[in-house]
Amino acid sequence: MSTYSLSDGLASGAPRTSRAPLLATWIRESGVGVLASIAWIAFGLSCLWWEDVGDWSRTHSLGIAAFIIAAIALFGTVGADYLGSAGQALHKRAPWLVALGAFLTVWEVATAKFAWLPLPFFPPPQSIIEVYTDDLPKLLDSVFASVKLQLGGYLIGATIGFLTGVSIGWSRAVGYWVHPVLRFIGPLPATAWLPIAFFTFPSSWSASTFLIALATGFPVTVLTWSGVASVSNAYYDVARTLGAKPSFLVLKVAIPAALPHVFVGLFMGLGSSFAVLVVAEMIGVKAGLGWYLQWAQGWAAYANMYAALIVMSLLCSGAITLLFSIRDRLLVWQKGTVKW
């Protein structure tokens, strides 16, 4: 009996030792993906299990959507080997999916189901979804107005700032006249001009464009200028001995050498112009996401505010990402010389 059971233990022990690490690798590889699926199932259940304390029309659809995401996460994890790069991408983002599912579950339970958070101020996820589906035209109009205003102001400000910066950096005479003006006006926050701008400019749209351009222009000017001023004389010497004319020195030596600085200015300008955009829309322009926020607050439509905030942050981070990819393309030569 004992020998039998011993040999039995040995016989079954051999495959177990080879299966155990297999299971361990599978858990290590796919555990997070399965966990993500579970988190989203929990979110779906949290939507459907209890009755809503308020009146929201999208609770059911949201629960179904959560289950669909859970299913995608599960199948994506199990079948990762057959999905190629999509499976890889899912695997990389799985920890975030877990966190997001857990966060949404807690949010759902704390607002829509038990109202632990005071209700009108902390709307549940489904009411934000409701804004996106039911108030879409107005939201899209606002997005369009904001993008138009921001893009126009930013491009004008960046162009003028760049040209001014190059001129100050290059010409002593221009520097003599522009530098003190810049010193005096530049550090003033662009929003301080708001009251003046809105009655001097013919329309609130042109006034806001001016303010955004101003907020963008100052950092771009200063950094372009310092970039041009810091170009090593050795580069100019080399170009001059090779027969370069002044225009060549500006366009082909000073500007490319200053470009890394210019991009720092462009990033700073983008950040400060967002602030001006929102304030200008809240106060003067009757369109755009800033105005939408203001309007939503007036109606105590808190879900709309959160919805607009989410869109706004997507737009801002999208703009930054776009600028980054332009920089990466233009400054590809910097790869390997500096750590990004």
Partner 1 sequence: MVATALTKALTHPAAGAALDIEQISHAFDIDGAELPVLSDVSISVEPGEFVALLGPSGCGKSTLLRLVAGLDKPKAGRLREDEERIRRPHPSRVVVFQDPTLFPWRSVWDNVALGLEAQGILRSQRQRVDDALDLVGLSSFRNAYPHQLSGGMAQRVALARALVNDPKILILDEPLGKLDSLTRITMQAELVSLWQRKGFTTLLVTHDAEEALVLANRVVVFSERPARVKADIRVDRPYPRHRGDPYLADLRRQILGLLGLDATW
Q: DSSP per residue over 82-98, as a string?
A: HHTHHHHHHHHHHHHHH
Residue 338: beta bridge partners?
335
Q: Interface with partner 1 by CB under 8 A: which range of 49-57, 119-127, 194-202, 331-339? A: 331-339
Distance, CA of 111 to CA of 43 (rounded, Å): 13
Least spacing, CB of residue 259 vs partner 1, in Å: 7
Q: Binding of partner 1 at residue 141 (CB under 8 A)?
A: no
Least spacing, CB of residue 229 vs partner 1, in Å: 17
Q: DSSP per residue over 162-203, as a string?
A: HHHHHHHHH-HHHHHHHHHHHHHHTTS-GGGGHHHHHHHSSS
Q: Binding of partner 1 at residue 241 (CB under 8 A)?
A: yes
Residue 1 vs 338, nearer CB to partner 1: 338
Least spacing, CB of residue 167 vs partner 1, in Å: 21
Q: Binding of partner 1 at residue 266 (CB under 8 A)?
A: no
Least spacing, CB of residue 335 vs partner 1, in Å: 8
- List binders of partner 1 among 178-237 (CB under 8 A): 232, 234-235, 237
Distance of CA 154 to the CA centre of its chain: 17
Q: How many CA within 13 A on the CB side of residue 110?
A: 11
Cα 125–Cα 126–Cα 131 angle in degrees, nearest 5: 100
Q: Binding of partner 1 at residue 239 (CB under 8 A)?
A: yes
Terminal alpha carbon distance of the chain = 69
Least spacing, CB of residue 225 vs partner 1, in Å: 19
Q: Binding of partner 1 at residue 252 (CB under 8 A)?
A: yes
Q: Binding of partner 1 at residue 238 (CB under 8 A)?
A: yes
Distance, CA of 143 to CA of 127 (rounded, Å): 20
List contacts with partner 1 (CB under 8 A).
Answer: 232, 234-235, 237-245, 248, 252-253, 256-257, 259, 331, 333-334, 336-337
